[in-house]
Structure 1
Amino acid sequence: MEMVKFIHTADLHLASPFQGLTKVPGQLWQRVYDSTFVAFQKIVDAAIDERVDFVVITGDIYDGERKSIAAVNFFNEQLGRLADRQIPVFLCYGNHDFQPVTATNQSLPANTHVFGNQVATVDFKLTDGSRVAVTGFSYGQRWIEQDVAKQYPIKGPVDWQIGLLHGAPYQAGADNHYAPFTVAELESKHYDYWALGHIHKHQQLAAAPPIVYSGIPQGRHKNEAGSHGYYLVHSQGSRLVPEFKPVAGIGWRTVNVNLDDCQNQPAVDRAIAQAATADAAGQLQLCAVRISTSQPRWRLLVENDGLLSHLQARLGMRESIDWWPYQLTLAACAQPTNLPALDQQYWDRAQAAVFTPENLAAVIKPLVKHQPLYDQFIDHQDLTEFKQRAVDLINERENHQDEN
């Protein structure tokens, strides 16, 4: 079997606004704004350094159908760098940057193939003579509810076939707005690799063949914490092996800090800074800090936002900022539940039944009139805060009843 090596990336969201950041000093704001660009530039650097055979980009290159001039120019420049090294690029558009694709509205370098709004396959040869086929399509509208994967052909007479699909696994009872598919359906095509886009957490849905979400290269809000990057895919015998490579320069994290042993303000500052920067590995850390303490003075400083303002003011005077607190809250309860009348087993069952993406979406949808905002919620929902807030409210009610 001939050798092949390529990069799989998706969901670049170039020039995407970061959410949840206020009162950010200028030098930090610029670094945050540039981070989606820097992440993609690192991917292009890797493609050149690794001398890959090609690059695939599976949708949501831009954050919306209205693309900024800066983002378009930057993307074209990076594709041009790949063109200078004779590295082909195969891309499709997703639900955020959906558009009708015609021969006249794509002003990209000649090395770049843009898939149209119907499923199509590109067949080409590598320098060693091996044949590769890439199959995909671009969104022509924001929502695609039909199972487009059905239209993908069975693997043809090639050495390697890669499928590009921007979509989400089918979920019973859900809206399924994003080209829903099943893993079994993709496996039935006998492709060698599925390069997925849309889900922002990198993950493999299957191993043989690899069915892989590359995730977003740079997380943009607190629900996109964790490691972000791309996949370098290379052949081993008759199979393709994906290797995750992190590139995000900014990380989001929630840190828990106990201030009971802190007797003065410098001790508080050190405790929070140490928790915020632990294992940062050179990343700028954007932090939500949860404070637990029995000391009234520290609790008051958190409640009136005095501690948050103090930390932001001190950090804002630095030339180099390695962490930034965007939120400080008091930890409302130390235990999962504090309800003497509630059997834990029944609570766990109720929690699993109530806190589901489908139920949460049903509640939010009537409240969000602007469709892109609803799409953004569906893309990035995280149930952790909703669960914790529900527990806090129940505990507050029980405590109030006990006092009465």
Structure 2
Amino acid sequence: MSFTFIHAADIHLDSPLRGLEKYEGAPVERIRNATRDAFRNLVDLAIDKKVSFLVISGDLYDGDWKDYNTGLYFVSQMSRLQKEGIDVYLIRGNHDAASLITRELKLPSNVVEFSVEQPATETIEELKVAIHGQGFESRSVTENLVKAYPKRKEGYLNIGMLHTSATGREDHENYAPCQIKDLQDKEYDYWALGHIHLREVLQKKDPVILFPGNIQGRHVRESGDKGCTLVRVNNGQIDSYEHHTLDVLRWETFEVDVTDAESTEEVIEQTRTRLEDSYQKNEGRFLAVRIRVQGATNIHQKLIVEKDHVINNLRSMALEVGYGDVWIEKVKIETTRLMNINELKERHTPIATILEYFDTMVEDEDTLAFLLKELKDLQNALPFEVKSGDEGFDFTNTELITQKIDEVEDLLLHHLTRKTGVGSS
């Protein structure tokens, strides 16, 4: 007997937007609806491929529902699968743990949710499949849940569902940790894992152990192709498995090397080339991009001084490239000076005197402390949105002061060297 099933995880349906309101022109509605659109693609794929069932390994929701609309949307999609005779098996993860979701809706009869109290087994007799799983009762589950899972059910294809950090992953909290050997010891045929948002195959066979990744990136740290895994079963054994793309909005980060650029127009054109290439590779999906402009260049100071002008021209160009379907989330100017600062300091000029003063200021704790005191009232007067975020102003520590002194140095060098004709040599 041959059949297929889909393994998905980390849907994060209706995941809230965080911080997008501070970006003027952000495609808020496109991003807000992305998880729903990707989930609809998942259901479409299940119907199109005529799969026998679908497993969702935790974090169907991103937390407690704001209202019942999130649950109603899920029920509407499950009803589509019910009409096609496709069953769904799900477990709760750290984001939709039983203790977090306060609203409940009766689910269609084709949806089976595993217990959060102990591991359970569901069998599909006509396919000779046994599915084992346990959900999260609370957000923070730190014990190894696998230890309590039952041994394989003989004569069946055994699938284990688990929301876990496995042996630990960067940027993910250490929930339900376990070792590969713990999973192997159960002698299942397939482990359907969830929690890690990057697709990762931990073991290729005997058993297959994998994270499918989330189905839709939600911010720039979740970049690249997102989707689910389609698994083919033949004669009671895993025959093959493959990734299927589901995302409708893709996040990307790329660097633009402007070392040889002599004007801001060249920077914009170099970025255009990169954006056009990326847009084509992503097959016309809506693209949200973070750009890092890098390199030691003659126009470093100009880029700093005309930062707003450059960024807004890049945004305008991006809208043209993608016909409205490319949005620049952030531009980071990370270039460095090409001019020889040390040589400028050695000359007996007013510029050298200013540069020497800056050096002295950075090294003098008393001067920095005085600056902090002088800037205290300014810090209190700044609006919250100006002070918050990784690029916010925080004039309460000397580290930021020294950082800003570098930027002031760049501004002065741009204006002074342009007027006096002093430059690199």
Q: TM-score range by the shorter chain?
A: 0.7 to 0.9
**Paired residues of 1:12 and 1:40 also in contact (CA < 8 A):** yes
Which whole-Å CA distance do the structure 2 matches of 1:175 and 1:309 have between them? Answer: 34
Deviation (angstroms), 1:259? 3.5
Q: Does 1:23 align with 2:20?
A: no
Quote the sequence identity (%).
Answer: 31
Q: SS of 1:223's equivalent? A: coil
Hey, what does 2:310 align to over in structure 1?
Answer: 307
Alignment CA distance shift 1:98-1:277 (3 Å): farther
**1:2-401 maps to which residues of 2 (within 5 A)?**
2-19=1-18, 21=20, 22-25=22-25, 28-99=27-98, 105-117=104-116, 118-125=118-125, 129-171=126-168, 177-207=174-204, 208-240=206-238, 241-259=240-258, 267-278=266-277, 279-292=281-294, 294-296=297-299, 299-301=302-304, 304-313=307-316, 320-332=323-335
The CA deviation string for residues 222-275 of structure 1, in whole angstroms up to 9 with x for no partner, is 211122100000114553122111111222222222345556665443321221
Give the SS at the match of 2:129. Answer: strand
**Which residue identity lines up with residue 122 of structure 1 in the other structure?**
E
Q: Post-superposition shift, 1:47?
A: 0.4
Superposed displacement of residue 297, structure 1: 6.9
Q: Counterparts of 1:167 and 1:77 in 2: how far apart (Å)? A: 28
Select between 93-102 and 248-257 the one with higher mean Cα deviation. 93-102
Aligned pairs, number? 331
Deviations 1:281-340 (A, max 9, x none): 222221111113513277435773332233335656999423221211223579xxxxxx
Map of 1:388 onto structure 2: none
**Partners in 2 of 1:318 and 1:219 — Cα distance?**
22
Structure 2, unmatched stretches of 5+, are: 338-402, 407-425
In the alignment, the residues of structure 1 paired with residue 41 and residue 289 of structure 2 have an alpha-carbon distance, to the nearest angstrom, of 24
Query: 8 Å contact 1:302–1:330 — kept in the other structure?
Result: no
Note if contact 1:166-1:197 (Cα within 8 Å) is conserved in structure 2: yes
Distance in 2 between the 1:304 and 1:175 partners? 34
Q: Measure how far apart 1:29 and its partner are.
A: 2.1
Distance 1:201 1:318, change over 3 A: closer
Q: Secondary structure at the match of 1:222?
A: coil
Higher relative contact order (CA 8 A, sep 6+): 1
| 3-state SS, counterpart of residue 270 of structure 2 | helix
User: What's 1:370 paired with?
Assistant: none
Secondary structure of the corresponding residue to residue 85 of structure 2: coil
Task: Give the letter aligned to residue 255 of structure 1.
Answer: F
- Structure 1 gaps of 5+ residues are 335-392, 397-404
Q: Counterpart in 1 of 2:358?
A: none
Larger Rg: 2
2: CA distance, partners of 1:63 / 1:316: 31
Instruction: Give the Cα separation in 1 of the matches to 2:200 and 2:219.
Output: 19
Let me know the Cα RMSD of the aligned residues. 3.2
Q: 1:303 to 1:280 in 2, by over 3 A?
A: farther
Classify 1:274/1:218 alpha carbon distance in 2 versus 1 (closer, same or farther; 3 Å): same
Once the 2 structures are TM-superposed, how far is the Cα of residue 24 of structure 1 from its aligned partner?
4.5
Aligned partner of 2:84: which letter?
R
